[in-house]
Amino acid sequence: MPLLLARLGRPSAPLAAALLLACTGGAAAPSPRRIEFQLKQSPTKALGSLKGRRLRNSHMCMLVNYDNVQYHLEIEVGTPCDPNSPTQKFQVVPDTGSSDLWVPATNCTRCKEKATKFQIDRSCTSRQLGDRITFRYGDGTLAAGGSFLDSVKIGDLKVKNQFLIQVDKMESNTHMKSDGILGLAHHYVSDRGSRGRTFMSTLYEEHPDLPHMFSFYLTGNTDDPSKLIFGDPNLPLHSKESQFRYGKAFYMSHTDLWLTSVWSIGWSGTGVEVSFPNMDTLGSPALIDSGSSLIVLAPNIYDHLLEDLKWRFTGCHELKEQQILTCDCPPANDLSRVPTLVINIVDSEDKQFSLCMSPDEYILESMDSTNGRSTCVPALQRGSETQPVPLIFGMTFMRSFYTNFDIENHRIGFARSNMSPLGADSKCSIDAQPFLRRTIWVVSIVMAILSAIFACHVLLTPKGACCFGCRGMWPGRATYGREATGLSSGSRPGLL
């Protein structure tokens, strides 16, 4: 099932500096336990002037970060028939939300302007399969093309006989900056007959000693390196926490997508929350998606959460095309009035643990192209009713948490990134004073029950069982005649 690609390009956002990617095989051993793709920020002009010690047994690769909304990985496809010819290189999105690996064909229509096109006749290791593949992403992007087998190289990591698609037709409204997409989903859920192995299947089949997992460590536009790591994660280096906390694996057995279970999402200290009790202990499926830029929410969830957020800002207006909210930044960028985003995950034992994102992490600063002023953009995007799951957590979320994708156990783990402003094992709650709020809730329920009992008593008690202003009480009936009051006919009773 395809993912929802990010549709946000920051208004007038300049292209961020290119980053260099080091593919590290760890210690010089016959069977490495970890292959790291390490990013380092480089000068914008002279990429070759990057200073710093190169890691042993590493190979420098290119990765471009477009202003923190898309990450691109450079891959090489095929083997040149002419030894003097350059290899064919492509910028692709490493995407946990889809399965296919595709690059543009020479006759691709509506591909990205100036995209690199794959020339299959230049590769001596390519073999066309003849099957035509059509696939659609959650944002409506449709692509189609012919399938083929060829070698794929990412730094020092190389796989042979990889199944690829050379796309020759595309219908898209996205602001995609890459040439193609490297799908990192763990298998195909449908149409198995016309598709070969996913990249993840090929990788671990041809490198059996490599642990069947990979991790994303994203830092944004900083001097600190970001990494995509195949094999064992390196928690002490990348996280403030000593272990991953894994979400429930139930939904992973029903789809090829990387899904976890979410019990609720809301704002800290406000009582504003969207929960999924109708899902019982399974929680709602949530896609962890490196191919999306933002946190994409189903319309009803987005509307409920944004209603409580936007009053905390001024000058807010919606960007209809991108389906996001942009507001004036508060004076001195003071976000103290903005609550923490709380995401409650369900684990394998049906217990909950919370993942907190501070305002500094989910409020993006942008530049308004009309007036040149700085604006604040909550990294929440209004999705569609047809998106594959109600919740999609993109790169904004993954920059807060070192994220582990465990293929063997079909689960996703989270550990607080060492780049996050929050501390290890940060506690957060939807309620500012949960005990007080719970007490008030219990008292209100008791009062409601007592009120209902009293109302029933008034309605069901026989008429006149208690007559205010009468001289006596008669159980079972009331008499208002002259015998009871002693008033003559036509006289007007007064209050006694």
In total, how many domains does the chain have?
3
Q: What proportion of the chain, given as a percentage, has pLDDT over 90?
A: 39
**Structure token pair of residue 39:** 């990013």
Higher pLDDT, 414 or 473: 414
Q: Which residue has the higher pLDDT, 178 or 412?
A: 412
Confidence band of 23 (pLDDT split at 50, 70, 90)? very low
| Cβ atoms of 133 and 144 closer than 8 Å | yes
Top-confidence range, 23-37, 245-259, 296-310: 296-310
Domain co-membership, 221 together with 281: no
In the three-class reduction of DSSP (H, G, I as helix; E, B as strand; rest coil), residue 138 is classed as coil
Q: Per residue in 312-351, pLDDT tens?
A: 999 999 988 889 999 999 988 899 889 999 999 999 999 9
Q: Is residue 112 part of a domain?
A: yes
Q: How far apart are CA 113 and CA 26, in angstroms?
A: 38
pLDDT the model gives residue 175: 63
| Residue 64 contacts residue 18 (beta carbons within 8 Å) | yes
**Backbone torsion region of residue 67, taken as left when φ is above 0, otherwise alpha when ψ lies between -120 and 50, otherwise beta:** left
Q: Is pLDDT larger for residue 138 or for residue 427?
A: 427
Q: For residue 469, what pLDDT is reported? A: 43
Edge-to-edge strands, sheet with 374-378 = 314-319, 324-328, 374-378, 363-367
Of 467 and 448, the one with more pLDDT: 448
Tell me the pLDDT band of 279, cut-offs 50, 70 and 90.
confident
Instruction: Using DSSP bridges, classify how beta strands 142-154 and 70-77 pair: parallel, antiparallel or unpaired.
Output: antiparallel
Q: Is residue 451 in some structural domain?
A: no
Q: Please, which pLDDT band fits residue 173 given cuts at 50, 70 and 90?
A: low
Both tokens of 196, joined, read 């070969």
Residue linked to tokens 């190389």: 158
Residues 189 and 241 in one domain: no
Domain end marker among 163, 198, 229: 229
Same domain, 180 and 279: no
Query: Are residues 207 and 150 part of one domain?
Result: yes
**Is residue 4 domain-resident?**
no
Average pLDDT over residues 426-443: 64
pLDDT band at 457 (very low <50, low <70, confident <90, very high): confident
Domain that holds residue 119: 18-229
Q: So what's the pLDDT on residue 192?
A: 52
Is residue 444 situated within a structural domain? no
Q: Given this model, what pLDDT does residue 49 score?
A: 25
Rg (CA), the chain: 30
Is the same domain home to 79 and 188?
Answer: yes
User: 219 and 244 share a domain?
Assistant: no
Whether the pLDDT of residue 41 is over 70: the answer is: no
pLDDT tens across 483-495, in order? 333 333 343 333 3
The pLDDT of residue 222 is 62
For the chain, the helix, strand and coil percentages under 3-state DSSP, each to the nearest 5: 20, 35, 45
**Section 390-399 average pLDDT:** 94
pTM over 0.85: no
Contact between 148 and 86 under an 8 Å Cβ cutoff? The reply is no
Between residues 212 and 194, the one the model is more confident about: 212
pLDDT at 397: 96
- Whole-number mean pLDDT of the chain? 77
Q: The CATH number of the domain where 406 resides is what?
A: 2.40.70.10
One domain, residues 141 and 260: no
Q: What is the pLDDT of residue 131?
A: 86
CB 263 within 8 Å of CB 345: yes
Provide the residue type at 169 as one letter: K
Which of residues 344 and 233 earns the better pLDDT score? 344
Q: 297, exposed or middle or buried, with CB in 10 Å at 0-12, 13-18, 19+?
A: buried
> Which residue is associated with the tokens 């189609």?
144
Q: pLDDT tens digits for 349-382?
A: 999 999 999 999 999 888 776 666 788 999 999 9
Helix runs in 336-422, H state only: 359-362, 395-398
Please say which residue of 163, 196, 229 terminates a domain. Answer: 229
pLDDT-derived band at 311 (thresholds 50, 70, 90) equals very high
Is residue 214 assigned to a domain? yes
256-279 mean pLDDT: 91
- Specify if 430 maps to a domain: yes
Residues with Cβ within 8 Å of residue 388, at least 6 apart in sequence: 1, 2, 3, 4, 138, 257, 287
Q: Which residue has the tokens 């083929």?
A: 148
**Same domain assignment for residues 218 and 244:** no
**pLDDT over 80 at 157, yes or no:** yes
Q: Quick check: is 7 in a domain?
A: no
Report how far residue 252's alpha carbon sits from residue 387's, in angstroms, rounded to the nearest whole number.
17
Same domain as 201, residue 75: yes
Answer whether residue 5 is part of any domain: no
User: Which residue, among 297, 301, 453, has the nearest Cα to 387 in the 3D structure?
Assistant: 297
- Looking at residue 287, its pLDDT comes to 96
pLDDT reading at 185 higher than 90: no
Residues 371 and 480 in one domain: no
Q: 290 with 179, same domain?
A: no
| Same domain membership, residue 276 and residue 254 | yes
Domain boundary among 198, 229, 260: 229
Q: What's the whole-number mean pLDDT along residues 77-103?
A: 91
